């Protein structure tokens, strides 16, 4: 396949990628004995290492502090079915962001398939370090899911419906 055909296919794929909308983001609150949690599922995010973010000065996306980006290359365009799952963790005692939690996130769909999220620690480029959260990009079909999250051994469960693309 020639480079031009490959480039044309890539441009066509990008043009057909679903555009994100505010109503594409699902946000739910929960609580454990010691933590207030906010689960968000939205359109895929471009992920950068701290060094990449410093060098490229992106205007959107996520800066990863630890963990690995799921799915490969930085700057990957939104793919159909790819969603960004993030869990914000706050101390109930202080109200402050918990920056060093041991977090697990798993989603179970109506098909009973369990999707484990490879958890990375990150923050939004525009929001900065006060936005620290845990999560990653994962392949999720639209539909109903049960989300099981643990923070330092404390469990929380969310019921969520992942919307379809526009």
pLDDT in tens, 11-58: 333 333 333 444 588 999 999 999 999 999 999 999 999 999 999 999
Structure confidence at residue 70 as a pLDDT band (50, 70, 90): confident
The answer to whether the CB of 140 falls within 8 A of the CB of 162 is yes
Label residue 133 exposed, middle or buried (CB < 10 Å: 0-12, 13-18, 19+).
Answer: buried
The CATH number for 65's domain is 2.60.40.3340
Residue 143 within a domain? yes
Residue 92 within a domain? yes
Could you give phi then psi for residue 114, rounded to 5 degrees? Answer: -100, 130
Structure tokens at 116: 């484990």
Could you give phi then psi for residue 129, rounded to 5 degrees? Answer: -60, -20
Residue 8 within a domain? no
What's the number of domains the chain is made of?
1
Structure confidence at residue 69 as a pLDDT band (50, 70, 90): confident
Its sign, for the CA torsion 75, 78, 82, 88, is: positive
Cα separation of 38 and 49, whole Å? 24
Whether residue 77 has pLDDT greater than 60: no
Cα separation of 38 and 32, whole Å? 11
Domain range enclosing 70: 18-162
Structure confidence at residue 163 as a pLDDT band (50, 70, 90): confident
- Give the helix ranges, DSSP H, for the chain: 3-16, 50-56
Half-sphere exposure of residue 104, counting CA atoms within 13 Å on the CB side? 10
At 71 the pLDDT is 58
């Amino acid at each position: 396949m020639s480079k031009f055909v490959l480039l044309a296919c890539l441009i066509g794929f990008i043009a057909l990628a679903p555009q994100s909308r505010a109503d594409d983001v699902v946000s739910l609150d929960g609580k454990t004995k010691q933590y207030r949690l906010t689960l968000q599922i939205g359109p895929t995010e471009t992920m950068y290492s701290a060094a990449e973010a410093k060098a490229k000065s992106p205007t959107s996306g996520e800066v990863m502090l630890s963990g690995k980006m799921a799915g490969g290359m930085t700057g990957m365009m939104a793919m159909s079915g790819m969603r960004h799952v993030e869990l914000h963790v706050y101390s109930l005692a202080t109200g402050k962001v918990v920056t060093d939690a041991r977090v697990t996130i798993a989603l179970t769909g109506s098909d009973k398939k369990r999707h484990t999220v490879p958890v990375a620690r990150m923050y939004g480029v525009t929001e900065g370090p006060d936005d620290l959260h845990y999560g990653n990009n994962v392949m999720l079909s639209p539909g109903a899911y049960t989300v099981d999250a643990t923070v330092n051994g404390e469990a929380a469960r969310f019921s969520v419906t992942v919307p379809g693309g526009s």
